[in-house]
Structure 1
Amino acid sequence: MPFLKRLGYFLIGLSIGLIFLTFFLKKKSDETGVEFCYLPNCRVLKELRSKPLVIDDSLQPFSDSLATRAVLEEGDVLFRKSDTEAKPCKIYVVRGQSDKQELELTFLNCESETRLKNYIKL
């Protein structure tokens, strides 16, 4: 069998397999609410969302937890400004938009909680 014919069969089978995989994986994630986070940004945001959120005492006037949750859902982690090696809590800076307002939030990712340390309205 010539190489081009084998390549054609391979590509047809690969495309059919990819269509089936995307259909079944999308169905599974819709039913169970499971997220497939493979990229660093998604993994950090998922970890920050998984722990109880505590707002630092110095930020008591800022009590907009809906804006904070929106940034944790759709924000971008700024790894250049973050300190992922800090002890005992890693420091992550997340930029996102909430209610037509851009925010830059600084979180401390501790073992038992996520603490909002600082916020900046841009």
Structure 2
Amino acid sequence: MKLKFRLAYYLFGLLLGIFFVIKFLGAKADAKGVEFCYLPNCRVLKELRNKPLDYSSEVKTILNENWISLEDIKKTLQYGDVDFSKSNKPYKNGKIYLIEGKTTKDENISVTVINYSSKVLLEKIEKK
């Protein structure tokens, strides 16, 4: 078989394979609720978002001050940065995490949460 025929067969098979990979993996990625989190920051935030969120009494008073809203906290748990040097340490039968983010007014905040096996406790909110 001549080289140009082998090259044509190879390219046809390659294009067919690429089509099937895009078709099947693209459908999986487009499915609702599918999120690919492989980095540590993404995995921690995803785990914290998937559990019910409780508030400490200190956080409830801060939320009543109206300089921060629940939407800001949800955005921080979605797009924030976990400070791993101060996080993932045992604390009150759970693990403590410090997450840095921003409010809608572009103020830097720091959120401290405790990750229990069945819930997440929002313990402290601070302005930076």
Output the TM-score relative to the length of structure 2: 0.72
Q: Which residue of 1 aligns with 2:124?
A: 118
TM-aligned CA distance change 1:25 to 1:85, over 3 Å: farther
Question: Which one has the largest radius of gyration?
Answer: 2
Q: Which residue of 1 aligns with 2:37?
A: 37
Q: Which residue of 1 aligns with 2:54?
A: 54
Q: Deviations over 1:59-89 (max 9, x none)?
A: 2122321111000000111000114344511
Q: For structure 1, which runs of at least 5 residues remain unmatched after alignment?
A: 1-8
Secondary structure in structure 1 of the residue aligned to 2:93: coil
Q: What is the number of residues matched between the two proteins?
A: 108
Taking the aligned partners of 2:102 and 2:25, their CA distance within structure 1 comes to 29
Pairing 1:1-122 to 2, within 5 Å after superposition: 17=18, 21=21, 24-63=24-63, 64-86=69-91, 88-99=93-104, 100-122=106-128
Taking the aligned partners of 2:30 and 2:62, their CA distance within structure 1 comes to 34
Q: Deviations over 1:30-50 (max 9, x none)?
A: 222211111111111011001
Secondary structure in structure 1 of the residue aligned to 2:31: helix
What one-letter code is carried by the residue in structure 2 that aligns with 1:34? V
TM-aligned CA distance change 1:66 to 1:24, over 3 Å: same
Ranges of 4+ aligned residues in structure 1 off by more than 6 Å? none
Q: Deviations over 1:83-109 (max 9, x none)?
A: 434451100000112211211100000
Taking the aligned partners of 2:124 and 2:41, their CA distance within structure 1 comes to 19
Taking the aligned partners of 2:86 and 2:61, their CA distance within structure 1 comes to 24
What one-letter code is carried by the residue in structure 2 that aligns with 1:95? E
What one-letter code is carried by the residue in structure 2 that aligns with 1:108? I
Taking the aligned partners of 1:93 and 1:78, their CA distance within structure 2 comes to 6
Q: Which residue of 2 aligns with 1:4?
A: none
Among all aligned residue pairs of Structure 1 and Structure 2, give the percentage whose two residues are the same amino acid.
40
Output the TM-score relative to the length of structure 1: 0.75
Secondary structure in structure 2 of the residue aligned to 1:61: helix
